[in-house]
Amino acid sequence: MEKIPVGISSCLLGELVRFDGGHKHNSYITGTLAKYFDFQPFCPEVAIGMGVPRPTIQLVKTNRHVRAVGIKNQEMDVTGALQDYASQSKPAHAQLCGYILKKDSPSCGMERVKVYTNNQPQKVGQGIYAKEMMLNNPLLPIEEEGRLGDPRLRENFIQRVYVLYRWKQLLAEGLTPGGLTRFHARHKLIIMSRENYVDLGQLLATVTKTNIDELADAYIIKLMTTLKKVASPKQHVNVLQHIQGYLKKELPADDKAELCEMIERYRLGEVPLIVPITLLKHHFRKNPDPYIEDSYYMSPYPQELRLINEI
């Protein structure tokens, strides 16, 4: 399978683009994720001509606006230049299926960036470039390298990258009512693993060749918004029990009891999600079901990227 294009802050790849001439190389990104993601580096501060090394900047609130200005020279205001670079990069961003940003950066931070008001900092801001880039690309899965240390956030991000990648493949092949319906069916169990999930199937019930483009736009917006919510153990249990129902006539009593026990132990936090999923896969190999076999829920991305081994 070809690598998936994902944007990234250049310093996380080890490029010497930091204000001090250094980098913030992340070994998980370049070691594991780089096997599957084709990273496209962006450094907005270098791109707007600030150079390496360069004067440091910070976010400052003036009146109702947040500006990116020099720490030593606040007359150096690069807010507009960073916003313009994000807009100019929109065609490149449109080719991506995800983006990993540098945390705490006044240009690239996704959230909780320090904003100074009367020299007092509060972690309430977004990097100027990052904010503009996210506004321009509402479907794009975005995370910070710091948050990728959380297994649930990391898995959620990777899952969303693969969903958007498959969506772009569907568009490239040409949208049809049948293709769109199958795409939804293959992702339905993933959607069901979100709290208060939206039944997108209702939206597709009226799809025709005439209205498919309009419905597809509404569908993918709702889908990617729904998937931003990290799946809870409670909701995973609901999905596991739903999948278990496809085996109710095939399994003997002792296998059913074992499966119920593993799902309950997952609910209690005693075993990771991979345990009941592996057991389910074992039973479906012996008792195949076309719908479950076609679903992405138990294999949402390559095995090597699985994080559900962690509790």
DSSP string, 54-78: ---EEEEEETTEEEEEESS-TT-B-
Which residue, of 101, 130, 149, is where some domain finishes?
149
Q: Provide CB contacts within 8 A for 306, sequence distance 6+.
A: 274
12 and 111 belong to one structural domain: yes
Q: Tokens in use for 98?
A: 């995800």
218 and 233 belong to one structural domain: yes
Q: Tokens in use for 84?
A: 């313009």
125 and 24 belong to one structural domain: yes
Residue with tokens 């809870």: 232
Residues in a beta bridge with 69: 58, 77
143 and 163 belong to one structural domain: no
Which residue, of 149, 173, 199, is where some domain finishes?
149
Average pLDDT over residues 18-24: 96
175 and 77 belong to one structural domain: no
138 and 157 belong to one structural domain: no
Q: What is d(CA 65, CA 168) in angstroms, rounded to the nearest whole number?
A: 36
- Identify the pLDDT of residue 307: 53
pTM: 0.93
Please count the structural domains in the chain: 2
303 and 279 belong to one structural domain: yes
160 and 95 belong to one structural domain: no
Residue 306 reports pLDDT greater than 80: no
114 and 55 belong to one structural domain: yes
DSSP designation for 102: P
Q: Tokens in use for 127?
A: 């990097």
179 and 130 belong to one structural domain: no
Which residue, of 149, 181, 207, is where some domain finishes?
149
- pLDDT tens track for 252-279: 999 999 999 999 999 999 998 989 999 9
Range of the domain at 262: 150-311
